[in-house]
Amino acid sequence: MTTLNHQWVLASRPQGEVTPDNFRLVEAPVPAADQLADGQVVVRHHYLSLDPYMRGRMNDSKSYAEPQPLGQVMIGGTVGEVMASKHPRFAVGDKVLGMGGWQEVSVMDANVRGALTKVDTTHIPLSAYLGSVGMPGVTAWYGLIKIIGPKAGETVVVSAASGAVGSVVGQLAKARGCRVVGVAGGADKCQYVVDELGFDACIDYKAHPDPKSFYAALKAATPQGIDGYFENVGGMILDAVLLRMNAFGRIAMCGMIAGYEGQPTPMQNPALILVNRLKVEGFIVSEHPEVWPEATKELGTLVATGQMKFRESIAQGLSSAPEAFMGLLKGKNFGKQLVKLI
Amino acid sequence: MTTLNHQWVLASRPQGEVTPDNFRLVEAPVPAADQLADGQVVVRHHYLSLDPYMRGRMNDSKSYAEPQPLGQVMIGGTVGEVMASKHPRFAVGDKVLGMGGWQEVSVMDANVRGALTKVDTTHIPLSAYLGSVGMPGVTAWYGLIKIIGPKAGETVVVSAASGAVGSVVGQLAKARGCRVVGVAGGADKCQYVVDELGFDACIDYKAHPDPKSFYAALKAATPQGIDGYFENVGGMILDAVLLRMNAFGRIAMCGMIAGYEGQPTPMQNPALILVNRLKVEGFIVSEHPEVWPEATKELGTLVATGQMKFRESIAQGLSSAPEAFMGLLKGKNFGKQLVKLI
């Protein structure tokens, strides 16, 4: 059994862009099995999930969640295998999902409701519980189903379309009979979104760097206008989408990664919300645990039967986590960003 | 019986601000009673309503409504008295509400559903059917009740608080146990809003012309943050309100008069919609006729019993309509803007 754990702690808060010196790698011992308190479970992480929400936690500002404390292990979702257990529901060898953080091993109090969940890897790969069948997948499901409420024949647009959330949004909307248009950065991502994920079209925002050019491309791809928009990005893309929204359109605000590093991201013409009688709603998936069973049932079935496709960007080894995270914030990942820890 | 009618027609579309030469005063004959077709009713207007929505109709741009045609009588709500009738449900002397337009006399086809409505002036003044008991009142009711959904103890803010819509929003919210804060232009309007309408506080945006000063005043008036916002204005006020919104707050977008004359009115930080999980929804009251009976029942009762107060700015004579309308767009009115035509 591993006796040494490595951890990334938050060393300092970013001033604008995240830099490597915002993180510090430290060592920590792993407790022996006979040192565990009742209810404790030791988990060897196989994968760490890197997600845009972590950027917000690095700030010391009012937000929907507590800031990540300085000097503490960075938060993050993990999947792994039980190495030792003093909890009756968890046995050595069980595959589990939890918020283990940016480290190789975590010691979890399995008595805390929801802290540790056993997962079935018979038909679903372990890593998918951090992606399409996990938090990003349920995020996509909630925003699309509960806020946008797509109807067959409507046009749905999603930004960051090749990512962990966007790819699920589009495939769920296609399954509901919508015309689906993605926005992604790069010809390779756009090709993947159309050819592999089955979207009707995808706009490469890097090929349309100015608002006029991007709007023209969006207009061409949405001849019937836009009824639902799943927002992961903000900025110029949101402005262009607003100009294409149909009356009574719905916008699910899930992320605005364009502004995560401090860039201003104004909405140029909010009067369009009124003119087109739009509903714009922000949400955080963790505040809607009631949808988890229904959402993961659908997502798990789609993944297990191969109807839901996904792609992963896998960085190797805990040491690569900061660089992979900084790349994620710049859109360098292609699909769900993970760090492989074994 | 009057034989000559005067009308304001749209002569040209405004380039930015509305100017007097956008309108042209013309004369038209009034048909004699024996010239009427079956179903036609001649109405002598007592009051014409002037409302911000008319500014949007003057543009030739995509909007929720057809543009006002050039050379046609300006649209507008009117109340008046039946002078002649060839419809069995309307008799000479009846008081009626309709969209008679900017003219002294209208000839209505009473067979068109909703074109002409008899009103009871026993307990409610005729002019109130253009204000608190009419379209502005139902607008306030819909946005507050159906979008904001205020709960006792919550804080509700409304801009253009002394106006036809805002004054009703605040009084309805007070009646539901909310803390109510208005925003209005001028010390006299703010004093009226607090002393006469019973709001808890009112901020004079003219006394706080810069965003920092306005935000400080808003913060002082909303110590528990803001749960519901009824938007009539946009611009700096909306930006400041967004910074004070509590989690799960609701914003009803009813108007953005700050941008009606072509001024850009960006929303500086739309990411706050996400951070605070807000719902922002635009609406047009005419698309929700189903609420009219419930809304006008409550509003009519409150006005008839003196529990709902209102104030009117009355311009005398049809010739004064353009100037009164231009003043309305600049906030020169104090309460519901009407033109008295008799």
Can you give the residue ranges of every domain in chain B? 4-131+311-340, 135-286
Per residue, the 3-state secondary structure of B220-236, as one string, reads HHCCCCEEEEEECCCCH
DSSP-derived secondary structure for A183-205:
EESSHHHHHHHHHTT--SEEEEG
Residue of A nearest to B56 (CA): A275
- Residue A2: which pLDDT band, with cuts at 50, 70 and 90? low
Tell me which chain B residue has its CA closest to the CA of residue A235: B270
Residue B65 has pLDDT above 90, yes or no: no
**pLDDT tops 90 at residue A66:** no
Q: For A277, which of B265, B269, B283 is closest by C-beta distance? A: B283
Task: Count CB atoms within 10 A of the CB of residue B306.
Answer: 8
Q: Is the pLDDT of residue A272 over 90?
A: yes
Cβ–Cβ below 8 Å for A279 and B280: yes
Fold of A4-130+310-340: Quinone Oxidoreductase; Chain A, domain 1 (3.90.180)
State which amino acid sits at residue B4.
Answer: L
Q: What is the pLDDT of residue A220?
A: 98
B27-34, Cβ contacts within 8 angstroms, sequence gap of 24 or more: B28/B4, B28/B103, B29/B3, B29/B4, B29/B5, B30/B1, B30/B2, B30/B3, B30/B4, B30/B5, B30/B105, B30/B107, B31/B107, B32/B1, B32/B3, B32/B84, B33/B1, B33/B84, B33/B86
pLDDT average, residue stretch B243-266: 87
Q: What is the mean pLDDT of residues B278-289?
A: 95
CB atoms within 10 A of CB A287: 12
pLDDT at A1 over 60: no
Amino acid at B292: W
CATH code: domain B4-131+311-340 is 3.90.180.10
| 3-state secondary structure (DSSP) of residue B132 | coil
The DSSP code for A170 is H
Closest CA to A274 of A249, A298, A238: A249
Please give the pLDDT value at position A153. 98
A260: which 2 tokens? 């995560």
Q: Which of B255, B273, B284 sits opposite A253 (nearest CB)?
A: B273
Is it true that domain B135-286 has CATH number 3.40.50.720?
yes
Do the beta carbons of residue A295 and residue A143 sit within 8 Å? Answer: no
Contact status, residue A258 vs residue A265, Cβ threshold 8 Å: yes
Separation in Å, CA of A69 to nearest CA in chain B: 19
Q: Give chain A positions within 8 Å (CB) of B254.
A: 274
Q: pLDDT at position B257, please?
A: 77
pLDDT, residue B62, reads: 62
Separation in Å, CA of A312 to nearest CA in chain B: 26
Label the pairing between strands B336-340 and B312-316. Answer: parallel
Residues of B in contact with A247 (CB under 8 A): 64
Q: pLDDT value at position A21?
A: 97
Q: Quote the minimal CA–CA distance from B279 to chain A in Å.
A: 4
With contact defined as beta carbons under 8 Å apart, do A313 and A333 qualify?
yes
Q: What is the pLDDT of residue A63?
A: 64
Do the chains contact at A282 and B267, CB–CB below 8 Å? no
Helices (H) and strands (E) in chain B, counts: 9, 15
A280 to B273: CB separation less than 8 angstroms, yes or no: yes
- For residue A269, list chain B residues with Cβ-Cβ distance below 8 A: 264-266
Average pLDDT, chain B: 95
CA–CA separation, A15 and A32 (whole Å): 40
Tell me the β-bridge partners of A106.
A43
Which among B275, B283, B286, B288 is the top mutation candidate for probing chain A, defined by the most A β-carbons within 10 Å of its own β-carbon? B275
ipTM over 0.85: yes
Which of A273-287, B26-40, B63-77, B292-306 comes out lowest in average pLDDT? B63-77
Question: Number of CB pairs < 8 Å for A and B?
Answer: 102
**Could you tell me the two tokens for B84?**
């002649």
Contact B20, B323 (CB under 8 A): yes
CA count, 13 A, side-chain hemisphere, A198: 15
- Lowest mean pLDDT, pick from A150-159, B54-63, B318-327: B54-63
With a cut of 90, say whether residue B3 has pLDDT above it.
no
Task: Quickly state the pLDDT bin for A62 (edges 50, 70, 90).
Answer: low
For the four alpha carbons of B90, B96, B102 and B105, in that order, the dihedral sign comes to: positive
Test mutation, A274, A276, A280, A288, chain B, max B CBs within 10 A: A274
Q: What is the per-residue pLDDT for B61? A: 76
C-alpha to C-alpha distance for A234 and A264, rounded to whole angstroms: 10
Query: How many contiguous H segments (helices) and E segments (strands) does chain A have?
Result: 9, 15
Query: A218 to chain B, minimum CA–CA distance in Å?
Result: 18
Residue of B142, B274, B280 to mutate for A, most A C-beta atoms under 10 A: B274
Angstroms from A252 CA to nearest CA on chain B: 9
Residues of A within 8 A of B234 (CB-CB) are 270-271
**Residue contact B277–A256, C-beta within 8 A:** no
The predicted model gives B145-149 an average pLDDT of: 98
Q: How far apart are CA A103 and CA B93, in angstroms?
A: 84
Nearest beta carbon to residue B282 from set A238, A253, A273: A273
Distance between B58 CA and the closest CA of chain A, angstroms: 14
C-beta atoms of B277 and A259 within 8 A = no
Facing residues of A8 across strands? A25
pTM of the predicted protein model: 0.91
Contact of B231 with B254, CB cutoff 8 Å: yes
Dist. CA B212–CA B6, nearest whole Å: 48
A266: nearest CB among B247, B267, B282: B267
Nearest residue of chain B to residue A252 (CA atoms): B274
